[in-house]
């Protein structure tokens, strides 16, 4: 996990519509950048829907929510449409941002060890500085936790 007070790493990734997004375009706004393991899984769906339900309140606080996983653009599009998600989902199959934000780690599931995304959420301020960072995030609680922070 990256240190609070450090500059957030730049990224350039495609969203669910194939449009490119960069960290720079969020300058002047608070950015909730959350990394999640996989589209259409139970925890990831709950977390995304939670952010979706609270999204108008994030906008009122001049904050933007962006989700990132290694899933494809097409997978993100299906995920967005299935749950009516109102925010940007970025596709990082090359793991560029996922590794830059230090969320790619060894995980153990049912005794099996593999590499994967550790659910992590960063709050980045208007100047691109990380002001809060949470790893091992509880999917259901995370959206309300981030709104409360603002």
Catalytic residues: 44
Task: Give residue 32's Cα distance to chain centre.
Answer: 7
The DSSP 8-state label assigned to residue 17 in this structure reads: T
Contacts of 81 (CB under 8 A, 6+ apart): none
- The string of DSSP codes covering 97-149 is HHHHTT-EEEEEETTEEEEEE--EEEEE-TTSBEEEEEES--TTTHHHHHHHH
Quote the CA–CA distance of 91 and 75 in Å, as a whole number.
Answer: 9
d(CA 102, CA 98): 6
């Amino acid at each position: 996990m990256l240190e609070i007070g450090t500059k957030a790493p730049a990224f350039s990734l495609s969203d669910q519509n194939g449009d490119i997004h960069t960290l720079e375009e969020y300058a002047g706004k608070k950015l909730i950048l959350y990394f999640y393991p996989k589209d259409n899984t139970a925890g990831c769906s709950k977390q995304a829907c939670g952010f979706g339900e609270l999204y108008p309140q994030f906008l009122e606080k001049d904050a933007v929510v962006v989700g990132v996983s290694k899933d494809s653009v097409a997978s993100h599009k299906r995920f967005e449409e299935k749950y009516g998600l109102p925010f940007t989902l970025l596709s990082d199959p090359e793991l560029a941002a996922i590794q830059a934000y230090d969320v790619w780690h060894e995980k153990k599931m049912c005794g099996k060890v593999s590499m994967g995304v550790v659910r992590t959420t960063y709050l980045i301020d208007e100047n691109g500085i990380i002001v809060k960072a949470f790893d091992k995030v509880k999917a259901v609680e995370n959206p309300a936790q981030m709104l409360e922070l603002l």
